[in-house]
Amino acid sequence: MFDMHETMNQFYKDYVRLNEEEKRKLAGYRDTNLKRLKFGLDKLGEENDTVYPYYQYYRNQGSYAMHTLNQHPENDYDIDIAIVFKKDDLLSSALDSRKRIADALKKGGGNFSKEPEARTNAVTVWYKEGYHIDFAIYREYENEYGITNVEHAGPEWTPRDPMEITNWFNQRVKDKSPSKEYGATVKPDQMRRIVRLLKMFTKSQYSWRLPGGLIVSVLVDECYQPNQHRDDVSLYNTMVAIRNRLLFNTEVRNPVDSQQLLTDKMKHKKRVERLRERLNFVIPKLDVLFENDCTESKARKAWNWVFNHTFWDEVIEETESASSETSPVTASIVQRMQDTKNEYVLTKPRSIQPLLGDISHQQQMPGIFRKRFKVRLDAFIYKVVGSSKKKFGGLNSDGRTIRNNFWLKFIANTNARPPYEVIWQVVNTGKHAESVGDKRGGFFQSITSNPLIHWEHSQYTGKHWIECFIVKDGVCVARSGRFYVNIYNPSFPHWL
């Protein structure tokens, strides 16, 4: 199998795992919301002329506690927190206890995108910053034998250790991952990396709707194929093992309670079935890795079927000949709408690409470029619905053609540490923009509160691009490369 171990590790380091700064940010979100909860309990108590005691302690749960939480370009993090109260400090009803915590969180304030809600197993708070927090409510008491019992507020009060899943997973990672003591050359905790990489695969397409982190973690635990020397081999073999397992059985059970099905609801079962289908689709794309004439370029293209990430696009461009931008057009671009569900997309074969028009108006980046860091662009498609923007999905560079009147959100992800300046450049081409005197090619800074985010409106027929530059002390230290956007406006059907 063609060796992509080092490349996979670079991808994992730069774009999968959370760096220390992001971990501190999430810890800050957690601490802020725990303070809001206490403040809200105080306010609620004042209004009802009583005192609502605080929780005894909290525990991190879920992907955050298991260290399998991945980077997310839109800050859409799911933070799970268990808050444990004394039994007498909560109501006897599990539902009423959850409702009290939801009411307290409403009183505690915050930039909510929707109000806190007492859901079946937790109280969920959604914030406009993108992240959401699930507060799982527990009560603790001693029975007549002096034994401490902990119960979770689900549909009813149910005995449950808030750390049981986390402790199970961490022990499995320790027990199953290759050890240097026995000759392994890979870094410790390989199984955790495989979970994260597979979660990256399940999130690689916005519309797939594949299983969540716990189900992926359980499947990896069941099917994990360790490799002493290479993560890419371990990942491939684990993917095949999971696919084969799901061919015969799509049920997934709670690893610490075999009586509980994680796929008891139809939507969860369907997601597991879709995972099987997607693995069936991408695994054959990796066959090229086993061919004698496999090259690094072919291998990177193959893995891009798995991750659908601009990291792999950028690397492909570096390893192939520099003629990709001047490749001939294989057919004319006269297209019609064919996808009624996704009306912003024009269906087109991969071999057909719009021509790049005149770019003589493009300004050149002044000063010196010294590549010291990386910056990558992610893009998302939005449509104004009522008074808000609704997200339709993601967009790859030079990918599907977008209709006019949509909004595109570009997010720059960089490993450069502040302070720095973020400079953007948009270059639009084609007769449409030229006919209305709106050809752009200059540099600017984003007008959003976050300089790493920039919005554009799809308007002119043509092939356009956007690029991001990171500048420190007057020197450009990172550039994203061109992110191409193909737009079709039926009022101007000619590309050039």
Residues 157 and 183 in one domain: no
Quick one: how far is CA 170 from the chain centroid?
22
Domain boundary among 275, 290, 305: 290
What integer pLDDT is reported at residue 65 of this predicted model? 87
User: SS3 for 272?
Assistant: helix
**Burial, 366: exposed, middle or buried (Cβ in 10 Å; 0-12, 13-18, 19+)?**
exposed
Residues 424 and 482 in one domain: yes
What integer pLDDT is reported at residue 232 of this predicted model? 95
Q: Is the dihedral of CA 376, 324, 402, 462 positive or negative?
A: positive
- Would 475 be classed as within a structural domain? yes
What integer pLDDT is reported at residue 118 of this predicted model? 92
Question: Hey, which bits of 87-176 come out as E strands?
Answer: 112-118, 123-127, 132-142, 148-153, 157-159
- Would 349 be classed as within a structural domain? no
What integer pLDDT is reported at residue 343 of this predicted model? 40
What integer pLDDT is reported at residue 209 of this predicted model? 82
What integer pLDDT is reported at residue 73 of this predicted model? 66
What integer pLDDT is reported at residue 150 of this predicted model? 95
Residues 151 and 203 in one domain: no
**Closest to 155 (Cα-Cα) out of 28, 260, 311:** 260
CATH number assigned to the domain comprising residue 30? 3.30.460.90
Overall domain count for the chain: 3
Q: Tokens at residue 466, please?
A: 């956007």
Partner residues linked to 472 by β-bridges:
475
CATH number assigned to the domain comprising residue 229? 1.10.1410
What integer pLDDT is reported at residue 396 of this predicted model? 87
Q: Note if the pTM is more than 0.75.
A: no
What integer pLDDT is reported at residue 349 of this predicted model? 33
- Would 493 be classed as within a structural domain? no
* Element holding 426 (H helix, E strand): strand 421-427
What integer pLDDT is reported at residue 206 of this predicted model? 62
Residues 143 and 261 in one domain: no
Q: What gap in Å lies between CA 368 and CA 474, rounded to an integer?
A: 8
Residues 243 and 147 in one domain: no
Residues 115 and 192 in one domain: no
**Closest to 467 (Cα-Cα) out of 494, 428, 493:** 428
Q: Is the dihedral of CA 110, 114, 118, 119 positive or negative?
A: negative
Q: How high is the mean pLDDT in each 10-residue block of the chain (496 residues)? A: 92 87 85 92 92 93 87 77 95 94 88 86 85 92 91 93 93 93 90 95 79 92 94 95 93 89 90 92 93 90 87 56 32 29 38 62 80 89 79 83 90 88 92 87 86 92 93 90 91 71
Q: Tokens at residue 115, please?
A: 């109000």
Residues 460 and 410 in one domain: yes
- Expressed as residue numbers, the domain containing 65 is 17-161
User: SS3 for 76?
Assistant: coil
Residues 387 and 444 in one domain: yes
Within 13 Å, how many C-alpha atoms sit on residue 227's CB side?
15
Quick one: how far is CA 118 from the chain centroid?
25
Residues 22 and 154 in one domain: yes
- Would 429 be classed as within a structural domain? yes
CA terminus-to-terminus distance, the chain: 44
Residues 157 and 212 in one domain: no
Residues 50 and 94 in one domain: yes
Strand ranges of the sheet holding 388-395, from the earlier edge strand across to the other edge:
388-395, 375-385, 407-414, 453-457
- The 10 Å CB-count burial string (b at 16+, else e) for 3-42 is ebbebbbebbebbbbbeeeeeeebeebbeebbebbeebbb
- Would 359 be classed as within a structural domain? no
Residues 382 and 439 in one domain: yes
What integer pLDDT is reported at residue 329 of this predicted model? 27
**Closest to 216 (Cα-Cα) out of 195, 201, 237, 236:** 195
What integer pLDDT is reported at residue 45 of this predicted model? 92
* 470 within 8 A of 491, measured Cβ to Cβ: no
Q: What gap in Å lies between CA 316 and CA 327, rounded to an integer?
A: 15
Which phi and psi angles does 391 have, rounded to 5°? -80, 130
- Would 92 be classed as within a structural domain? yes
**Closest to 220 (Cα-Cα) out of 180, 191, 183, 263:** 191
Domain boundary among 243, 269, 290: 290
Q: What gap in Å lies between CA 162 and CA 140, rounded to an integer?
A: 11
What integer pLDDT is reported at residue 95 of this predicted model? 95
**Closest to 135 (Cα-Cα) out of 180, 100, 171:** 100
Q: What gap in Å lies between CA 2 and CA 232, rounded to an integer?
A: 9
- Would 237 be classed as within a structural domain? yes
**Burial, 496: exposed, middle or buried (Cβ in 10 Å; 0-12, 13-18, 19+)?**
middle
Quick one: how far is CA 387 from the chain centroid?
26
To the nearest 5 percent, what fractions of the chain are helix, strand and coil? 35, 25, 40
Domain boundary among 127, 161, 195: 161
- Would 327 be classed as within a structural domain? no
